[in-house]
Amino acid sequence: MNNLSQTAPAESAGRSKLAALNDWVAQVAALTQPDAIHWCDGSDAENAALVAKMEADGTLVRLNEQTHPNSWLHRSHPDDVARVEHLTFVCTPEQEDAGPNNHWMAPADGHAQMDALFAGCMKGRTMYVIPYCMGPIDSPLSRCGVEITDSAYVVANMRVMTRMGAPALARIEREGSFVKGLHSVGELDPNRRFIMHFPEELTIKSFGSGYGGNALLGKKCHALRIASHQAKAEGWLAEHMLILGLENPQGETHYIAAAFPSACGKTNLAMLIPPEGYRQDGWKVWTIGDDICWMRPGADGRLYAINPEAGFFGVAPGTSINSNPNALKTVAHDTIFTNVAVTADNQPWWEGLSEGKPVIDWRGNEYDSSKGPAAHPNSRFTVSAQQCPSYSPKAEDAQGVPISAIVFGGRRASLVPLVFEARDWTHGVLVGAAMGSETTAAATGAVGVMRRDPMAMKPFCGYNFADYFSHWLSFDKEGAKLPKIFHVNWFRKGDDGKFLWPGFGDNLRVLEWMIKRVKGEAAAQETPIGNLPSADDVNIAGIQLSDEANAKLFGFDHAGWRAEFESIGEYLQEYGPRMPQALHDEQQRIARSLDA
160 vs 384: CA distance, rounded Å: 6
Give how far Cα 504 sits from Cα of 456, 480, 548, Å. 20, 33, 20
Q: Residue 504, annotated ligand binder?
A: yes
**CA 128 to chain CA mean position, Å:** 25
Quick one: which of 330, 332, 314, 324 has its CA closest to 268?
A: 324
Question: How far is residue 442's CA from residue 459's CA, in Å, rounded to a whole number?
Answer: 11
Residue 547 marked in a binding site: no
- Which residues share a beta bridge with 348? 342
**Residue 219 labelled as part of a binding site:** no
CB 210 within 8 Å of CB 154: yes
* DSSP designation for 439: -
Question: Has 212 been labeled as part of a binding site?
Answer: yes
Burial class (CB in 10 A: 0-12, 13-18, 19+), 578: middle
> Which residues have C-beta within 8 Å of that of residue 106, sequence separation ≥ 6?
91, 93, 95
Give the separation between CA 276 and CA 72, rounded to whole angstroms.
34
183 is in an annotated binding site: no
The CB-side HSE value for 437 (13 A sphere, CA atoms) comes to: 30
338 is in an annotated binding site: no
DSSP E strands, 159-302: 163-164, 179-184, 194-198, 203-207, 237-239, 241-247, 253-259, 284-289, 293-297
Q: How far apart are CA 591 and CA 529, in angstroms?
A: 9
The β-bridge relationship of strands 194-198 and 88-90 is parallel
Is 268 annotated to bind a ligand? Reply is: yes
Instruction: Give the β-pairing of 253-259 and 88-90.
Output: unpaired
**For residue 174, how many other CB atoms are within 10 A of its CB?**
10
**264, 293, 388, 461: the active-site residue:** 264
Is 128 flagged in the annotation as binding?
no
State the Cα angle at 480 between 478 and 485, rounded to 5°: 125
Q: Is 262 annotated as a binding residue?
A: yes
Residue 411 assigned to a binding site: yes
Residue 264 catalytic?
A: yes
C-beta of residue 443 within 8 angstroms of C-beta of residue 456: no
Any known ligand binding at 495?
no
Please give the Cα distance from 321 to 406 (Å, whole number).
Answer: 27
Residue type, 106: A
Q: Which amino acid is at 527?
A: T
Helix boundaries (H) for 323-464: 325-330, 425-433
Is 211 annotated as ligand-binding? Answer: yes
Instruction: With CA atoms as reference, report the closest residue to 255 among 223, 219, 293.
Output: 293
Cross-strand bridge partners of residue 182: 148, 205
**Does 267 count as an annotated binding residue?**
yes
- 555 labelled binding-site residue: no
Asked if residue 298 belongs to a known ligand binding site, the reply is no
DSSP code for 451: E
Instruction: Report d(CA 181, CA 299) in Å as an integer.
Output: 33
Residue 506 annotated as lining a ligand binding site: yes
Do the annotations mark residue 493 as ligand-binding? Answer: no
Query: Is residue 302 a known part of a binding site?
Result: no
291 is in an annotated binding site: yes
**Does the annotation flag 279 for ligand binding?**
no
Q: Which residues contribute to the annotated binding site for substrate?
A: 83, 211-213, 262, 378-380
Q: Which residues contribute to the annotated binding site?
A: 83, 211-213, 220, 240, 262-268, 291, 378-380, 411, 504-507
Q: Which residues contribute to the annotated binding site for Mn(2+)?
A: 220, 240, 291
Q: Which residues contribute to the annotated binding site for GTP?
A: 263-268, 380, 411, 504-507
Catalytic machinery residues: 264
